[in-house]
Structure 1
């Protein structure tokens, strides 16, 4: 149960964190391009106040939708059960002295 909750949280916040990093990367790229263009032009002092804008609402909505999709996919993958029960047989030396590599085989009941 705890594992399911932990993975759902990771799958929900993972895409949001990726989008947050992408947004910050784009902002840093824009700042770098602005600084680069400023170096090529004469400096003009501008005292006009600039309104700070938050990320658009579609960005938040997209982050939440992607997070919900990833969380649902992770939860469904955790809830699916294997159709065939298999047992892992580790590597061993058989009766003839040959090395048999590890392999999966159907479980004997």
Structure 2
């Protein structure tokens, strides 16, 4: 249950974080290209206030839709996967004196 919750949250926030990181990289590249183009121009100090440039609404909508779609897909996949009950058997020495490495062993079906 906890694993499903964590993975669902990961699949929800993961694409949104990637979209915002992509937006920031694009903005940094635009700033860098503007700085390169203005290098050759004379320096003029501009004191006019500049409006902040928030991301457009469609960007937030796309990030939210991708996050929700990924979260739903991950949740559905986790519910559809039939997990086999297994138990870890640690490394030990067999009756013949040989070392048996640790391994996973399937449990019998619960009755």
| Pair in the same fold by TM > 0.5 | yes
TM-score, length basis structure 2 = 0.72
Counterparts of 1:1-109 in structure 2, within 5 Å, are 1-82=1-82
Count of residue pairs the alignment pairs up: 109
Consecutive unaligned residues of structure 2, counting only runs of 5 or more, are 83-107
Moved more, 16-25 or 46-55: 46-55
Superposition misfits of 4+ residues, deviation over 3 angstroms: none
| Whole-Å separation in 2 of the counterparts to 1:73 and 1:14 | 13
Deviation of the 1:81 alpha carbon: 3.4
| Whole-Å separation in 2 of the counterparts to 1:2 and 1:13 | 16
Deviation of the 1:44 alpha carbon: 1.8
Deviation of the 1:38 alpha carbon: 1.1
TM-score, length basis structure 1 = 0.74
Distance 1:41 1:81, change over 3 A: same
Consecutive unaligned residues of structure 1, counting only runs of 5 or more, are 83-107
Matched position secondary structure for 1:29: helix
Matched position secondary structure for 1:19: helix
